[in-house]
Amino acid sequence: MLRVSRIRTRQPDIGQRSWTAYLYILPSLFVYAVFVLWPVLDTLRLSFYEWDGVSTPRLIGLSNYLRLLEDQVFHIALRNNLLFIAFYTLFPISFALFLTALMTRRRFRGLSFFRAGLFVPYVMSMVVVGVVWRWIYNPAFGPLNQLLQAIGLGSWARPWLGDFNLALPAVGVVGTWVQYGFCMVLFIAGVQRIDETLYDAAKIDGANELQQFWHVTLPGLYSEISIALVTTLITALKIFDLVFVTTRGGPGNQTMVVSLWLYNNAFQINRVGYAAAIAVVLTILILLISYVVLTMRLRAGREEA
């Protein structure tokens, strides 16, 4: 008993344990505050100033935000970001669902190889992806135009990244090619946790494979679809590297996006305060869309329960 009482006396009370936990996370919190919170707050502060990055900043209040309302390039960039959502979100999720249905209900040789191969574009550097596709789209020696000419469709050959009507879809196709691998891996992992007895019951009821996918697989993947939706939406809204490598926003401003317009203002036009305002608006837009999607997912989950 004496030994037990000694052990009990060594245990800290609840207050001491909580302070000990805070001490453990303090280094991580410090790093997060220095490299994330402070830059975010400083960007918000700079958005109220006129500053070229060198001279003394001048407080101008909400002028940068009011200028955004009249900035035609910003409006074009915002529209292009919304168009890229189709290529970064809708098409990859749809294609990944099709591949998931194809790969999970049938067993065939080399399945793991195909899964790994289809995931490769997602793990590649976007700079490498952009350089590769810029070569594929090259109007003089690119394999795409050469293939079209070889099969008798030479009239379809285009300067894909220089065409005012086709430049944005051409870049968007690359985004779809990159994103569908991530969605596919996510959905395949989700299918593996669906109870197999649900498929057996559907078969007994006479459901064909399409009906099994619609009534069993798709409802079982709601959580994974919502994760893919939020992730790809954020990627579509903050797209920068792929556009920078392939078109730099051209031709004209046909592929200009908000992040690239932010970069041009900050590092080429030297309007750092105005670029900070663009960054704040883009951040609010991403947070707002993410909140709406997650709220809709939580509401749907409560209704299912």
pLDDT tens track for 274-290: 999 999 999 999 899 88
* Per-residue confidence (pLDDT) for residue 1, from 0 to 100: 45
Given a cut of 70, whether residue 13 has pLDDT beyond it is no
* Per-residue confidence (pLDDT) for residue 63, from 0 to 100: 94
* Per-residue confidence (pLDDT) for residue 4, from 0 to 100: 47
CA distances to 3, 46, 51, 83, 263 from 271, rounded to whole Å, are: 71, 11, 6, 27, 10
Beta bridge partners of 49: 59
Of 102-111, 185-194, 211-220, give the lowest mean pLDDT range: 102-111
* Per-residue confidence (pLDDT) for residue 9, from 0 to 100: 53
* Per-residue confidence (pLDDT) for residue 137, from 0 to 100: 94
| pLDDT, average across residues 20-48 | 91
- pTM (2 d.p.): 0.84
Could you tell me the two tokens for 20? Answer: 């000990």
Amino acid in position 105? R
Of 80-84, 103-107, 209-213, give the lowest mean pLDDT range: 103-107
Given a cut of 70, whether residue 258 has pLDDT beyond it is yes
224 in Cβ contact with 190 (< 8 Å): yes
Of 9-13, 85-89, 149-153, give the lowest mean pLDDT range: 9-13
Could you tell me the two tokens for 25? Answer: 């996370």
* Per-residue confidence (pLDDT) for residue 19, from 0 to 100: 79
Instruction: Report percent pLDDT > 90 for the chain.
Output: 50
- Please name the residue that has the structure tokens 């007895």: 197
115 in Cβ contact with 188 (< 8 Å): yes
Summary mean pLDDT of the chain: 87
Please report which confidence band the pLDDT of residue 298 belongs to, taking 50, 70 and 90 as the band edges: confident
From 303, 107, 115, select the one nearest 219 (Cα to Cα).
303
Please report which confidence band the pLDDT of residue 207 belongs to, taking 50, 70 and 90 as the band edges: confident
